[in-house]
A and B are shown apart, each in its own frame.
Chain A
């Protein structure tokens, strides 16, 4: 009973300023559902640098790792829909929508603000690998099913889906070997313990440029400016260009004008020199990442359908 009263009070007190004050009148919290220092975290923090000058009360990043990015999502879904808590969404959440781990679902419980980045992956093998081109690899793989061992980070997640779906597209059956981190994978490829990996290019680019690793193909519509000699999947006749996506979203039901305010905020933040420098140096601007709210939702729905098909084939869902 007392709890109900308290909740009621919080509700009333919480609503009162809504009617009068300007938004935002306190700091906005960005929930990154991954640990600090990872790709999603650095991307979010770089963008936050662009938001800071625009906000009087500031903006804070909270890392809430766990449960394959679902713990942070659940947390945001449980906050009031007032626009003060923003979720940094990644492809992991779209995959979770196929086989939800928690009560929260990215498609039904959230409104996308915008997509901010679309990363590029590449098929990477060791610099000293016997495979010189992608067709070498495919030919070997077709003759020896399961003999190619490809590493990734998340079983049943984005990493496995992009590896298996890509090779299925070219008719090769590979063995997927999950590791705990990108660092272990890179060490295992260079050390010759596994054949290679389908991984985000930004992670492997320095080692490719140093010759320790070799990219056989970048997975997108055109060649990558940092690797002009490496063919892209489209020119090799492979109709597969999926990439890791990063977006920001708020809880469904957040007032429209606040959503618009946040969208404008992000749009301006993305023009900030610090963020621009960050995306340029990490080649996150090679493919246009920005999509407005409606386009982002449409893109999410398409992706979720794609993941549903792949996960069905892999036997993760019925």
Chain B
């Protein structure tokens, strides 16, 4: 066992593999940060370069891009309010609010430390408890997925800010958006108006960038020209590091979120996005310190989302390496990489190519540490961007958003949709309707509907099938408590609007 790890370490420390790790991570950070290039696109663009590489170098490169992409998605989220990845929407909501209050470097450091903590946590869980996680993930059938989405949707109350009614309105709008496109059970087209663009439904990124990033530019444009509110002086590494007591205060979130991330990451039907929303929602629902800050710069929400979306990498890799089943789009690309190199991840990998298996374990740990250094060193650089006058800054963001939306499918339709959603987002904000529940509804709606209908197909139409397994029963009970409890809870002071 130890010999395997030492061998793997020796291989990875070879110069060509180290270079691959650095290049892969940098590319991943860039791809993740740009809204038009998702992590999985970033990995696939590298894929064609790996045909001629030795397998280990190829995997080091791709793992670097994968972890880098998940991490990089939050940089643009915090600084510019553009979700680089769907999984970083909670980071936009909390992290960008912090940045606007002049706490950009604080938010960046919290995000970075939590990301790396989540990533390392899940990697260690993967190394130590692969069979356990894999078995647990396999117990999730349609009924369990449905229960999970119900639990996810039940946190709406925590995301609603002031008005529950507005929160639910927003969530229902998101659920409605999720129904657009080809029906996953009958293949019927719904609300597509005969267009090809809408056959696949609304693209998450288009809706999120429109609702969150572009609408904010419109709002800010109403103000007279000014310097960006987030501009701050950087006080040097030691001056900016968040104190340890911060993590100690939120220790429940710091432990719960990576666990949620690892498990949800291992589910083939869910992934980083659902993981980060679930963890964020849980943090919002159970917040003991300053619950009123959620939606307006709650550091606890930022921690939860970042721990969870990075932790999903370990979960996703667990199920890929142990069963050959990709738990996310990006690990599907890694599966393709295995096939290109004539290998098949799965139960047999441990006996056929232990070098690759242990190599990937070691590479994941080292990449996480490398990312800590890479992003940590460049935080100062990123913060310089915030010093630009807002007029220039916002124009640049808008260009990024347009190019990003276009780049998703090389289609102008997505750009037009993004602007349509930015107008919707503008009015939602004007009327103080929270945007987060809408995105929650969109992200979970499709999975909720399809898994409910699958579960009913499997049980022959009996509703009892939904609660027949302990997992789904517990999750549904949790959701019920989460919805009912706030109705009886004594209000603690007055929550702001």
Residue ranges of A at the interface with B (Cβ–Cβ < 8 Å): 35-38, 41-42, 45-46, 48-49, 61-68, 70-71, 74, 101-102, 149, 154-157, 175, 177-181, 183-184, 186-188, 190-194, 205-207, 209-212, 274, 277-278, 281-282, 316
Contact = CB atoms under 8 A, between A and B. Distances in A.
A210 B325 CA distance: 13
25 contacts: A35-B329, A36-B41, A36-B47, A42-B340, A49-B48, A62-B410, A64-B409, A66-B199, A66-B200, A68-B199, A70-B196, A71-B200, A101-B199, A149-B458, A155-B183, A175-B457, A177-B454, A186-B325, A187-B268, A187-B323, A194-B141, A207-B347, A210-B346, A212-B323, A274-B51
B185 interface: yes
B327 interface: yes
B378 interface: no
A316 B196 contact: no
A35 B140 CA distance: 26
Contacts of B346: 206-207, 210, 212
B269 A180 contact: yes
Contact of B269 (A35, A155, A184, A205): A184
B332 A149 contact: no
B348 interface: yes
Given A36-B41, A45-B48, A46-B340, A177 B458 contact: yes
Contacts of A38: 332
Given A183-B325, A191-B139, A193-B142, 17 more contacts: A42-B336, A64-B409, A66-B196, A71-B197, A101-B189, A155-B183, A156-B186, A177-B454, A177-B457, A183-B268, A186-B268, A187-B140, A187-B267, A187-B319, A207-B347, A278-B340, A281-B342
Nearest to A177: B457
Interface in B439-458: 450, 454, 457-458
Contacts of B185: 155, 178
A83 B182 CA distance: 32
A212 B347 contact: yes
B138 interface: yes
Nearest to B270: A184
B325 A191 contact: no
B344 interface: yes
Interface of B: 40-41, 44, 47-48, 51, 137-142, 182-187, 189, 196-197, 199-200, 267-269, 319, 323-327, 329, 332-333, 335-336, 339-340, 342, 344-348, 409-410, 450, 454, 457-458
Nearest to B326: A183
A32 B269 CA distance: 24
A142 to B, nearest CB: 18
Contacts of A212: 323, 346-347
A37 B323 contact: no
Which 9 pairs, one residue from A and one from B, show the smallest C-beta to C-beta distance?
A193-B141, A156-B187, A67-B199, A155-B187, A206-B344, A36-B44, A191-B138, A210-B347, A183-B268
Contacts of B197: 66, 71
Contacts of A188: 141-142
A62 B454 CA distance: 33
Contacts of B138: 187, 190-191
A184 B40 CA distance: 18
Contacts, number: 143
Q: Among A63, A192, A212, find the residue whose CB has the most chain B CB atoms closer than 10 A.
A: A212
A43 to B, nearest CB: 10
A71 B186 contact: no
Nearest to A36: B44
Contacts of A192: 141
Given A37-B40, A183-B326, A206 B342 contact: no
Contacts of A46: 340
A187 B348 CA distance: 17
A37 B326 CA distance: 11
B200 A207 contact: no
Contacts of A181: 268-269, 332
Given A149-B457, A210-B348, A178 B51 contact: no
Given A149-B457, A149-B458, A281-B339, A180 B199 contact: no
Given A42-B339, A45-B47, A206 B187 contact: no
Q: Among A41, A48, A155, A183, find the residue whose CB has the most chain B CB atoms closer than 10 A.
A: A183
A67 to B, nearest CB: 4
A179 B446 CA distance: 12
Nearest to B320: A183
A316 B196 CA distance: 19
Contacts of A37: 40, 44, 47, 329, 332-333, 335-336
A143 B189 CA distance: 35
Contacts of B326: 183
A156 B182 CA distance: 11
Contacts of B267: 187
Contacts of A48: 48
Contacts of B327: 183
Contacts of A205: 344
B323 A186 contact: yes
Contacts of A42: 336, 339-340
